[in-house]
Structure 1
Amino acid sequence: MCVRQKCVNSEMYVLQRINIHRMVTCLQHGLAITRWGSNCRPAPLLTISPTRSLIDDEVTIEGRYLPPFCRITMRACLQSEDGDLWETHSHYNTDKNGRVNLTRDVSVGGSYVGCEPMGLFWSLQLAHGERKGLRLRKKNVETPYPIQISILDGHVTFEDNNNNNQELAAVTVERWYMAPGVRRMEIRQNGIVGTLFLPPGPGPFPAMVDLWGMGGGLVEYRSALCASRGFASLALAYFGHSDIPGPLNCINVGDQYFRAALKLLQEHPQVCGDRIGVMGLSFGVYLSLRIATQIGFSPRCVICINGPIGSNNKLSDNVSGSKIFEGDHKHWSFNEQGYVSFREVSLPNNIPPENKVKLENLCCPLLYIVGEDDLCFAAMENANEIEESLKAAGKSHLLVRLSYPGAGHLIEPPYTPNARASMFTTRPKKLITLWGGHLAPHAAAQEHAWTKILEFMECNLRG
């Protein structure tokens, strides 16, 4: 090698050492420098624990080996059973060690703000371009919700083209309503249409009858979760199901149907026949209170979520039944978007006195849960009437009332997204119903209410 070439190589070596020294000096003094690549830095890592959990379990989410003081976006997305995309974005800043921990750190923007360890789950909303008016509800409880959690470079918005945002790390988690070992049994006997969920083990177990509202059909996910928490649960259909004789738009069952369902549950060998409660949401509240006060059955407890103390239509044991909302249209109200609210229908003053439950007959503890932003039912007014009626009957001690500001009608198991409005029916024409509820306060209500529901069941069914 010639002398000239040796000199050039020596100069390059010196310059490289000078540049390295300058960068080290800048880092030591906190000065900004251009980001530079290094094969020594570990790849960004996203850890979620556990990756397989029940829907009401909290998980820990942490990103590591990220650049310090870096803007990142935590993104969650899932595809529903109907093929619709649900997603959420939230903005975080890494700490000096290049870490972000959702249990500790604060979201500074996106779908939610503040320290919300489970925000990526309860803030899921329909992605842009998807069908309008949908509500996320699990149909097949024997499969999980697969949710992909990922870290994106920078603060990303819904309007951004996600294909142009670098994904730094990703993990898929499974969220279940059914724990391993829970047994699911379809019930189609003696005219009863339902699904019985039994916890793992031989039993016998305390049990709940689980009643939903006027959306009809057979809704199983809350019952599956109750069984996962140690309580047998019968998800009972009473309206809008093809296996129940009569028109689908009518309630074709009455007291006899509910007596038969309760007898079936009482006689099951893996159920404690004297430890049965009833839980209802929406119109299911009326049915739950009716079971507890008027059909000759004494449950150990009743749980009511945002529902009425009566109905505008009498229940009938005839197949001809009674049509839902018949004669109620005068009490319907619509907002500027044409979305309907049934709130005035359920006002106690608009319910015929003869169709109200006989609350003075109540002989078991009652937990009544109110969403103060319920736009579908007059939950506050019904709770007030229950309180006054029990006080007049000398039974105030039976009532536990929980009230949640900012929560809507659909107070369901925790960490699941709320729909402020969604499709109620498409026949004879499309109808979108207002449910109410603001995202963060509704999520907080669901988390707290579910804890209290389980405590109430534990105390009154197992205690």
Structure 2
Amino acid sequence: MLQLTATPASALADEPVHIRVTGLPPSQMVTLTASLKDEKGNLFQSRAFYRANEAGQVDVEQDPAFGGDYVGVHPMGLFWSLKPERAFQRLLKKDVMNSPFWVTLDLYDSVCLEDSATVQPRVSQTVQRWFSAPGLQRTQIREGRVRGALFLPPGEGPFPGVIDLFGGIGGLVEFRASLLAAHGFAVLALAYFAYEDLPDQLLEVDLEYFEEAANLLLAHPKIQRPGIGVISVCKGAEIGLAMACYLKQVAAVVCINGPNAVLNVPLRYRDQVVQPILCVVERIQVQVSGAGHLRSCHGDPRDVLNGQSVLPVEKAEGPILFIVGEKDECLDGRAHALQAMEQLRSHGRSSGRMLVYPGAGHLLEPPYSPLCYASRSPGLARPLLWGGDPAAHAAAQEHAWGEIQKFFWQHLLPTRSKL
């Protein structure tokens, strides 16, 4: 009897799924596909070709794909190779608490290159990919100026507190915060523009807003003291690094593909203003696809004129984990991280650590998230190129996610004295 099984059928989005097919004729070629629709109805699809073994089975944990969207043994390849039907779409979970992504797995005879109404799958299976765990609590935050959502694990705590910052997408992005909370952290997904009564555009980074958010988190009775962590990407990583430099409440920071200098808009903290390095529009390269390539548009922060914009990382009291994708087409994150590391060393500090992933792009997200090679960003005339090779990017996401959690567990829990 032909069977397609995927276990577990319901799991967190960062947990692996074991896909097996049994009951096939020996050595038969088959096509496995995955598809899902996001909350706006956008379709994402992937496919891979497999050959059954002599027992008539395909086990994607052991058997190589011979073609399709990837080649070789990739147990979660059907998930991380999902591609949008329409170009420049990014897969983002909006409602993280009440509904999962439903991923449909289909098995077709032989090599099936195109879906067709006339070609029906031999067998199908659906899996649920959740972004919250049982007992997880989400609280909308509207206190003072601070706008966001706080995710608390079940239990009394206290839990290590983390602020989660995204970049130029704006609004409130919650999927990473809710997944981290499912692993035992109390996480504040923080909006800082284009959300509710916050400014529509980011014209200035006011670090006192982020200080207010840090104090709010630390004042919560279930948050572990004395300090919090920050996980951040892109523009958010610039802000996260600035928080490490200027705010005593910040004990550990993860900067994913961010700069070591202030870019595009000024950064203000009390009576200090750091002027930005501006993007040189003439340096933006436009690809055949129409996407903009920003990697070289800001120049080198160490240039004399740009030096005043470099963040004083030597003032950071806690450790900093720089995560870099070498195929990042938006920012030369490796160069920025190396400069920050050198700056720390020149001041006798060893609090920086760098993870470099060859083949990974800009948008490093939780495990098994599909690579977003290019997408549209609010307020920009053309899509932006993020870069990355799908298989290498997927491997980087899986490894980095574990390292991020270990980093926060190590540095956000108080050291217990030995008896």
TM-score by length of structure 1 reads: 0.84
Q: What is the deviation of 1:95?
A: 1.0
Residue 275 of structure 1, CA deviation: 4.0
The structure 1 residue matched to 2:47, chosen from 61, 85, 89, is 89
Give the letter aligned to residue 258 of structure 2.
Answer: G
Any idea what the Cα deviations from partners look like across 1:193-236, whole Å, max 9, x if unmatched?
11100011121111111111112111111000110000000111
How far apart are residue 292 of structure 1 and its match? Answer: 1.1
- Equivalent pair of 2:36/2:102 in contact (CA under 8 Å): yes
- Residues 102-181 of structure 1 aligned to structure 2 (within 5 Å): 102-127=60-85, 131-142=86-97, 143-157=99-113, 160-181=114-135
Which residues in structure 2 correspond to 1:271-282 (within 5 Å)?
271-282=223-234
Say which of 48, 65, 78 aligns to 2:6: 48
Q: How far is the alpha carbon of 1:431 from its aligned partner?
A: 1.2
| Candidates 263, 269, 291, aligned match of 2:243 | 291
Aligned to 1:69: 27
CA 1:339–1:349 in structure 2 vs 1: closer, same or farther (change >3 Å)? Answer: farther
The count of corresponding residues between Structure 1 and Structure 2 is: 408
CA contact (8 A) 1:418 1:437 kept: yes
SS of 1:69's partner is coil
Deviations 1:150-195 (A, max 9, x none): 21111111xx243333412111100011111111111011010111
Distance 1:85 1:403, change over 3 A: same
**Does 1:236 find its partner at 2:187?**
no
Q: Which has the higher contact order (CA 8 A, sep 6+)?
A: 2
Q: C-alpha offsets along residues 420-449 of structure 1, whole Å, 9 cap, x if unaligned? A: 111123x4x631101010111111111111
What TM-score comes out, normalization by structure 2 length? 0.92
Q: State the 4+ residue runs in structure 1 displaced beyond 4 angstroms.
A: 321-328
Map Cα deviations across residues 289-325 of structure 1 (whole Å, 9 max, x no partner): 1111113x2422110100011223312479xx99999
SS of aligned partner of 2:212: helix
Larger radius of gyration: 1
Instruction: Specify which of 363, 386, 394 is matched with residue 443 of structure 1.
Output: 394
Cα separation, partners in 2 of 1:78 and 1:325, compared to 1, 3 Å: farther
The answer to whether the 8 A contact 1:348-1:381 is kept is no
Give 1:390's match in structure 2, choosing from 324, 331, 344. 344
Residue equivalent to 1:263 = 215
Per-residue CA distance 1:241-282 (angstroms, 9 max, x = gap)? 2321x4x12345512211111110000011113141111101
Q: Partner amino acid for 1:102?
A: V
Q: Structure 1: how far apart are the matches of 2:19 and 2:147?
A: 41
In 1, Cα distance between the equivalents of 2:166 and 2:115?
A: 39
SS in 2 for 1:197: strand
- Unpaired segments ≥5 residues, structure 1: 1-41
Query: 1:11 is matched with which residue?
Result: none
- The residue aligned with 1:5 is none
Does 1:370 find its partner at 2:324? yes
Name whichever structure is richer in helix by fraction. 1
Quote the sequence identity (%): 38
Instruction: Give yes or no for the alignment of 1:225 onto 2:179.
Output: yes
| Contact 1:238–1:251 under 8 Å retained in 2 | no
1:391 to 1:327, Cα distance in 2 relative to 1, 3 A:
closer
Aligned 8 A contact 1:367 1:399 in 2: yes
**Where does residue 10 of structure 1 map in the other structure?**
none
RMSD: 2.1
The answer on whether the counterparts of 1:251 and 1:323 sit within 8 Å (CA) in structure 2 is: no
